[in-house]
C-alpha cells in the first residue's frame, strides 16, 4: 500500500496506486502521522479502506496534488558517508560506525514545491538522493530483526545541503535544515510492497541530466543496522524519519562543482517509490 498526503486539505490522508489517488477517510486519522501512531490494527483497516477507495473514488494523479507524506516527525535522523561509492568520490575514509546527524523537521517540503533559500545565505546548494525509512513502532535497544519489524515504510528524500555552510560550520545541522531543504515523497510505500531495501536503484537528475545513479547495495551500513544502531542511543518513535545516506554524484564533488540555481529542476528517484521532483525557486527574504 502507498500512503500519501493531498495538498491543501485539512484531512490530507490518501492512498495511491499506479497513477491514481484516492482520499482516505478514517475516524480520528487525518494524516499519515496519525495513521502510523494509531498502530497495526489501524494500518490493516487503512489497507481495506484504501483498496475500497481506489476502487470507488480515485482521481488521476497529477503534479501538485501531493504534499510531503509526513507532517511532523519527532526526529529526522540522517546518516552521512553511508555509500562506498560516495566515500570513494569524496576521498574520505569509510566510517567505522554510522555517522549520525539531524535535519530539523521544519525543512520538510513536498513534491513539486520549491526549494529556496534566503538571498546571500549560501552559494553552494547541492542535492542528495536518499532512501527514507519511516518508523512505525516505538523501539529502544532493538536488534536488527526488531528494527526491521519496526519499519512502517519507505520513501524518497532529497537531503538538500548548503555545502559552504556545512564546511564552514564544521557540523551540518544549519546547512541541511534550511526551510524547504528536505523534499520528501511522493508517498510512503509499505514494506510488503517495497521489498528488499538493499536492492533499490537511486537516481538524481538536474534539468533532466543524470547526476547520481547507484543502488542501495552500495550502503556501508544497511537499513536494519542503522535503525538498530540509532535505537541503542535514542528511542525511535512512530513517524520518525531516517535518511540513509547518498551515493556518488552530488554536485559539490564534481569537477568542476555544480550547484543548484533558481529555475533548475531536481528529481530524485528511488526504485519502488517513484520520482520526487522539485523546482529551485527564487531566493526568499
Least separation, in Å, of the C-beta of 243 and Mg ion? 6
Residue sitting closest to Mg ion (CB): 159
Report the residue number, 12 or 73, with the smaller CB distance to Mg ion: 73
- The stretch near Mg ion (CB under 5 A) out of 8-16, 42-50, 105-113, 122-130 is 122-130
Report the residue number, 31 or 246, with the smaller CB distance to Mg ion: 246
Interface with Mg ion in residues 47-106 (CB under 5 A): none
Least separation, in Å, of the C-beta of 245 and Mg ion? 6
Render the chain in DSSP notation, one character per residue: -EEEEETT-SS-EEEEETTEEEE--BTTB-SHHHHHHH-HHHHHHHHHHHHHHHHHS-EE--TTSEE-S-S--S-EEEEES-BHHHHHHHTPPPPSS-EEEE--GGGEE-TTPPB--BTTS-S-EE--EEEEEEE-S-BSS--HHHHHHTEEEEEEEE--EEHHHHHHHSSSHHHH-STT-EEEEEEEE-HHHH--TTS-EEEEEETTEEEEEEEGGGBSS-HHHHHHHHHTTS-B-TT-EEE----S--GGGSSS-----TT-EEEEEETTTEEEEEEB-PPB-
- The stretch near Mg ion (CB under 5 A) out of 144-152, 157-165, 230-238, 275-283 is 157-165
Work out whether 177 is an interface residue with Mg ion (CB under 5 A): no
- Judged by CB under 5 A, the residue of 126, 128, 267, 269 near Mg ion is 128
Contact, 75 vs 108, CB < 8 A? no
Least separation, in Å, of the C-beta of 233 and Mg ion? 19
Least separation, in Å, of the C-beta of 159 and Mg ion? 3
Least separation, in Å, of the C-beta of 213 and Mg ion? 16
Report the residue number, 231 or 246, with the smaller CB distance to Mg ion: 246
Alpha-carbon span 125 to 163, nearest angstrom: 6
Work out whether 246 is an interface residue with Mg ion (CB under 5 A): yes
Kind of pairing between the strands at 265-270 and 274-279: antiparallel
- The stretch near Mg ion (CB under 5 A) out of 6-14, 52-60, 86-94, 238-246 is 238-246
Work out whether 126 is an interface residue with Mg ion (CB under 5 A): no
Report the residue number, 49 or 156, with the smaller CB distance to Mg ion: 156
Report the residue number, 16 or 227, with the smaller CB distance to Mg ion: 227
- Judged by CB under 5 A, the residue of 67, 159, 240, 267 near Mg ion is 159
Report the residue number, 153 or 252, with the smaller CB distance to Mg ion: 252
Residues that bind Mg ion (CB under 5 A): 128, 159, 246
Amino acid at each position: 500500500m502507498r500512503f500519501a498526503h493531498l495538498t491543501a486539505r485539512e484531512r490530507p490522508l490518501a492512498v495511491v496506486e499506479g497513477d491514481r489517488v484516492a482520499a482516505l477517510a478514517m475516524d480520528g486519522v487525518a494524516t499519515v502521522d496519525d495513521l502510523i501512531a494509531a498502530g497495526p490494527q489501524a494500518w490493516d483497516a487503512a489497507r481495506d479502506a484504501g483498496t475500497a477507495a481506489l476502487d470507488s473514488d480515485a482521481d488521476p494523479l497529477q503534479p501538485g496534488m501531493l504534499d510531503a507524506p509526513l507532517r511532523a516527525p519527532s526526529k529526522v535522523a540522517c546518516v552521512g558517508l553511508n555509500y562506498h561509492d560516495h566515500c570513494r568520490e569524496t576521498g574520505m575514509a569509510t566510517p567505522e560506525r554510522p555517522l549520525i546527524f539531524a535535519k530539523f523537521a521544519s525543512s520538510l517540503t513536498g513534491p513539486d514545491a520549491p526549494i529556496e533559500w534566503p538571498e546571500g545565505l549560501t552559494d553552494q546548494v547541492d542535492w542528495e538522493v536518499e532512501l527514507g525509512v519511516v518508523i512505525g513502532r516505538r523501539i529502544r535497544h532493538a536488534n536488527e530483526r526488531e528494527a526491521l519489524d519496526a519499519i512502517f515504510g519507505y520513501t524518497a528524500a532529497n537531503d538538500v545541503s548548503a555545502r559552504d555552510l556545512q564546511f564552514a560550520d564544521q557540523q551540518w545541522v544549519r546547512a541541511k535544515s534550511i526551510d524547504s531543504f528536505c523534499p520528501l515523497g511522493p508517498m510512503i510505500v509499505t514494506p510488503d510492497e517495497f521489498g528488499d531495501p538493499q536492492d533499490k536503484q537511486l537516481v538524481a537528475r538536474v534539468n533532466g541530466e543524470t547526476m547520481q545513479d547507484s543502488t542501495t547495495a552500495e550502503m556501508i551500513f544497511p537499513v536494519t543496522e542503522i535503525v538498530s544502531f540509532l535505537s541503542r542511543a535514542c528511542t525511535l518513535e512512530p513517524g520518525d524519519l531516517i535518511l540513509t545516506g547518498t551515493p556518488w554524484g552530488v554536485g559539490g564533488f564534481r569537477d568542476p562543482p555544480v550547484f543548484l540555481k533558481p529555475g533548475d529542476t531536481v528529481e530524485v528517484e528511488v526504485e519502488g517509490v517513484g520520482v520526487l521532483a522539485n523546482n529551485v525557486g527564487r531566493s526568499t527574504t
